Amino acid sequence: MDYDALKTLHSSAAPFTPLVPVSLLPALALILLSATFVLAFYFSTLPKNAIPLKEVAVASTASILGGFGVVALFCTAGVYV
């Protein structure tokens, strides 16, 4: 495709609309980051076992929630990543 065809295609395309409304991002960031800190505290109080399956599950959940929470917080501040 040449440049003119791509420009026409771009101008005729529908604008992007996010799946999560922008007005919900502050509350979503607060909920996700709060859950991360609660799970991190819970993780630090777990008894140490020989096979740490529960520890891995709690830490992985906290990590995933923290990642999505930070992205929501950045988007709330206007840094769209």
Angstrom distance (rounded) from CA 4 to CA 12: 12
pLDDT value for 55? 87
pTM: 0.78
> CA 62 → CA 7, 13, 16, 34, 58, distances in Å?
43, 38, 30, 10, 6
- Per-domain boundaries in the chain: 25-80
Mean pLDDT per 10-residue interval, the chain, length 81 residues: 90 90 95 96 84 87 97 93 84
